[in-house]
Amino acid sequence: MQALSVPHSLINFTGSDFLIYDLNHLKGEFKKANINFLENEPMHRHTSFKIGGAADVFVNIGSKEEFTRVFSLCKEENVPVTILGKGSNLLVSDKGIEGVVLCLENLNKMTVSGERITVGAGANLAALCTFAANEGLSGLEFAFGIPGSVGGAVFMNAGAYGGEMKDVLESVTAVNSGGEIFTLFRDELCLSYRSSAFQKNGATVIEAVFKLKKGNTEEIKASMTEIMKRRKDKQPLEFPSAGSTFKRPEGYFAGTLIEQCGLKGFSVGGAQVSVKHAGFVINKGGATANDVLCLIKKVQETVSRKTGVTLEPEVIFIGRE
C-alpha cells in the first residue's frame, strides 16, 4: 500500500534507501542554531489513529523562517524529511519514521481582511471554521468537524456535506523541495476529488487564503452545530481513526459496499471495521499499523471479489516498511 498514497500530513522529500547521512552531525547543527528537537519521539502521540513507532528526530516548527532554516539544514546534510500537520489522515509504520519529522502544528496564525482569511497550514480546521463564524464569514461550515490541519485539508481538497476546499480557497503559499517559497492561485491548484497540485509537485503548504462571504454569525454557528451532530450520530468519533479509510468509488459509497460484503465489525488484532460506520477502520485498542494494513487489504480483496469495485485508500501510510 503506498505505500497507500501521500497527503499533506506527510511529504517525504528524500527517500533514504540509498542515502548516506550523519544524523548526529545534523543534531549538532540544530543545537548550534538553537533549534529545539526531540529524539525517538513516539508518533502515536501525533496521529489521530494513535498508532506509530518513533521518529528519529522531531521538530515543532514555530515560524516560516524556522521552517526554512531547519529544512535547509536537513537538505545540506542529505537527511530525509517528513512534513507533518495534525496527523489526522496518517498511518505511521510500527517501525517509525527515518530522519527528521517537521511538525507544522504551531504555524496556526489567522488574520482577517474583509471577506478573506489568511491562515497558517498548521491551524486546526475546526478552529478556522469557528474563527470564520465569529467574524460573520460563511462558506466553511461544511468543514466543521473534519479532523486535521488546514494544510492537510488543502493537500487533500477535503470536503463533506456538499462542500470542498476548492469552493473557498483563493490562494496557497507553499515551499518546494528546493526550499523556495511560492504562491499558487485557485486556478493553479488543480483541485478535484481528494486531490490537489501538491500531491504531484511535492511542495508543502505553509499558508492559505480563503475567500468567504458575509453571513449571520448565529446562523453560521447553527449550521456548524447541525453538521457536527450529524457527524457524531453517524461516525465512530469515540475511537481513534484516520477518518474515512477509503475514497468514494464512482457511483458507490465505500461504507455501503463494505457493509454489504459482511465486513462490518470485522477485526484484525486491535483494528476493526467500525460497527457504527463501515467506511471507518478504527483502533479499538492496541492496534498496530500492521493490523490496520492487513485489515485494509482484507477489505479491498473482499469488496473486489464480491462486487468488482476497487477501493482506494484515503488514509496514508508513511515510515519504515
Which residues are part of the catalytic machinery? 194, 244, 314
Which amino acid belongs to residue 210? F
Distance CA 170, CA 222 (A): 25
Q: Which helix (H) or strand (E) holds 207?
A: strand 204-211
Burial state string for 214-252 with b = 16 or more CB within 10 A and e = fewer than 16? ebeeeebbebbeebeeebeeebbbebbbbbbbbbbeeee
Residue that the C-alpha cell 517537521 belongs to: 102
Distance CA 267, CA 312 (A): 19
Pairing of strands 204-211, 116-120: antiparallel
Q: Which helix (H) or strand (E) holds 81?
A: strand 81-84
Q: Is 316 helix (H, G, I), strand (E, B) or coil?
A: strand
Distance CA 183, CA 19 (A): 30
Alpha helices in 235-267 (DSSP H): 254-260
Residue that the C-alpha cell 460497527 belongs to: 275
Q: Which residues pair with 175 in a beta bridge?
A: 181, 204
C-alpha neighbours within 13 Å on the C-beta side of residue 11? 23
